[in-house]
Amino acid sequence: MSVLEIKHLDKTYSDGTRALSDVSLDVGAGEILGIVGGSGCGKTTLLRLVAGLDLPSEGFISVGGERISGPHPAVGIVFQEPRLLPWLTVADNVGFGLHHLPVAERINRIANALERVGLASYGKRWPRELSGGQQQRVAIARAFVARPKVLLLDEPFSALDAFTRASLHEHLLLLWEQDKPTIVMVTHDVEESVTLSDRVVVMKPHPGRVFETISVTLERPRDHLTAPFEKVKRRIHATLDRSMRPENTPQAPRKSDSGALWW
Amino acid sequence: MSVHINTGTEAAQTVPTTVRASRWPDPRVLAGVGLPIVIALLWELAVRVGLSDGRLMPPPSKIYAAMAALAVSGELQVHIAATLARVGAGFAFGAIAGTLTGAIAGGSETIRRVIDPSLQALRAVPSIAWVPLFILWLGIFETSKIALIAIGVFFPVYLGVASAIIGIDRKLLEVGRIFRLSRFQTARRILLPAVLPVWLTALRAGLGLGFMFVVAAEIMGASEGLGYLLVDGQQMGRPDQIVGAIIAFALLGKLADTLLVLLTRPLLVWQDTARAQL
């Protein structure tokens, strides 16, 4: 059963830029969907539409059967930057979206989320005192504590180094296991998409379209060094290459030994 | 034309520098404090040994004696209270009006485009130029003086608040949208705390200008206040009283500024911690 339904989505900005063209996607409950694609393929636009921050020009998005016409309580988002409020402590940042809840429940959820992202003792700190990776963990916790049905991640790890990224993947999966929300994650890191996703959507730029969808049926936790992992990765890379080639240009004849002839 | 983000000209001068390296003060700081004291002592000495008669520039002892006499008779307290009351009232009116106008201009581009050019033009008017008009309109008593001070306080506060609201990080506002904050909640939970530091800096700049304008107001005609002491000292040929009043202004201004900083410090803990960490 699909939780997130995207039908014939079109987005043209007021300056005439066509960011998305006829994008349709169905994402199931608890599924993690990765979205990769070259720059200008409308990945971020797509997420902003699902988050209700922008409105589509054509088509519609529904979450759990409800049409999205603005920010929706069942949809959470983690941006590329942590976007923490510098005047709130870490705990208050995590609880930013929980003001409607009774205090005890709020404190409970905050403590639980901070524990899962490994920042249990950081609740009283200020965001400025945290490293970039820790701040992004707080941002992820802030999105999770609201218990969204659909969680959107917009290249949330792109500014971080490889070690931090790997540990954040673990923290993310740990949080995901709790309520199993549907996750849509935009990334430019193919390895990341294979590590986390059940399906990877490759998008094609100018205007942004769905180019191909690739299923990743590996057991979690996924080992990066196994052959099946490598195989999926290579397949996505190849699809990405094709997606970025201009249309109607036949593939250039491959001369694998042409380099050698130069010598 | 939009609001210029040029509060820097007024505000940057009052940016707090609370970086303390160690418990022992820098010897240069000691020298900085010591310089005026040494000069005062030298001048005292010069008058005592007869190098100067100290008539136009009285020695510190004479200034102290003059102020002490005023204090004993209770006059000094009356003058200080009068000046403080004017600055206080003018500051309150100017700060409230500046904050409201700044918030409205910062919040609505349409309103900003309509009112900002006029306000910018009015800002360029030298303060003293208002005095004759205010006296005609509001009389020679307190109202005209307070209005003049309020004008002085108004502009830095208006500019500070408006530019802070315009410059607010749109990415943080989006966080508020994601959590579906109402307009009021957005103002209280995101706009207000984001604007607070700039607002407080603007208030400090406004308070400084308030003390400048109170002198102008009191010199134009008053029967009490530190500015009156200045004029009175000139007419009576009492430079000791003039210098004493100037020193009192310096002390009061510094004291009021320090008080404002101390009172608002709890609001900015998150910033101070950040600074201490860096």
**What residue numbers bound the domain in which B202 lies?**
74-270
Contacts of A12 (CB under 8 A, 6+ apart): A18, A19, A57
Say yes or no: A165 and A92 in one domain: no
CATH number at A206 reads 3.40.50.300
Torsion sign (Cα): B141, B147, B150, B152: negative
Nearest to A77 among B178, B189, B194 (CB): B178
What residues in B contact A144, CB-CB < 8 Å? none
Is B69 inside a domain boundary? no
Is B6 inside a domain boundary? no
Minimal CA separation from B263 to chain A, in Å = 18
- How many residues comprise chain B? 278
Tokens of B106: 């910062």
Structural domain total, chain B: 1
3-class DSSP state of A51: coil
Say yes or no: A30 and A45 in one domain: yes
Say yes or no: A66 and A167 in one domain: yes
CATH number at B139 reads 1.10.3720.10
3-class DSSP state of A183: strand
Model ipTM? 0.83
Distance between CA A94 and CA B229 in Å, rounded?
58
Tell me A122's DSSP state. G
Beta bridge partners of A10: A58
Q: For A233-246, what is each residue's pLDDT tens digit?
A: 888 888 888 888 87
3-class DSSP state of A14: coil
Structural domain total, chain A: 2
Minimal CA separation from B16 to chain A, in Å = 18
Q: Does A85 touch chain B (CB under 8 A)?
A: yes
Q: Name the nearest CA neighbour of B13 among B119, B152, B156.
A: B156
Specify whether the CB–CB gap between B189 and B181 falls below 8 A: yes
Distance between CA B160 and CA A69 in Å, rounded?
36
Q: Name the nearest CA neighbour of A196 among A240, A238, A232, A150.
A: A232
Say yes or no: A211 and A100 in one domain: no
Q: Does A146 touch chain B (CB under 8 A)?
A: yes
Residue contact A128–B196, C-beta within 8 A:
no
Phi, psi (degrees; rounded to nearest 5) at B244: -60, -45
Distance between CA B221 and CA A166 in Å, rounded?
74
Is B42 inside a domain boundary? no
Say yes or no: A67 and A159 in one domain: yes
pLDDT-derived band at B175 (thresholds 50, 70, 90) equals very high
Beta bridge partners of A11: A20
Say yes or no: A154 and A243 in one domain: yes
Is A131 inside a domain boundary? yes
What residues in B contact A71, CB-CB < 8 Å? 177-180
**What residue numbers bound the domain in which A132 lies?**
86-147
Say yes or no: A68 and A180 in one domain: yes
Q: pLDDT 10s digit of each residue in chain A, 263 long?
A: 688 889 898 988 888 888 888 888 899 888 999 999 888 788 888 999 999 999 999 888 999 888 888 898 889 999 988 999 998 999 999 999 888 888 888 899 999 889 888 888 988 888 988 888 889 889 999 998 988 999 999 988 887 888 888 888 888 888 888 888 999 999 988 888 888 899 999 888 888 888 888 888 888 778 888 888 888 888 888 888 888 887 655 555 544 444 444 44
Say yes or no: A155 and A101 in one domain: no
- Supply the DSSP string of B78-144, one letter for each residue: HHHHHHHHHHHHHHHHHHHHHHHHHHHHHH-HHHHHHHHHHHHHHHTS-GGGHHHHHHHHH-SSHHH
Q: Does B192 touch chain A (CB under 8 A)?
A: no
Q: Does A124 touch chain B (CB under 8 A)?
A: no
Specify whether the CB–CB gap between A176 and A185 falls below 8 A: no
What is the phi-psi region of residue B180: left when phi exceeds 0, alpha when psi lies from -120 to 50, beta otherwise? left
Secondary structure E strands in chain A: 2-12, 18-28, 32-37, 58-63, 66-67, 75-78, 150-154, 182-186, 199-204, 209-215
**Residue B199: pLDDT above 50?**
yes
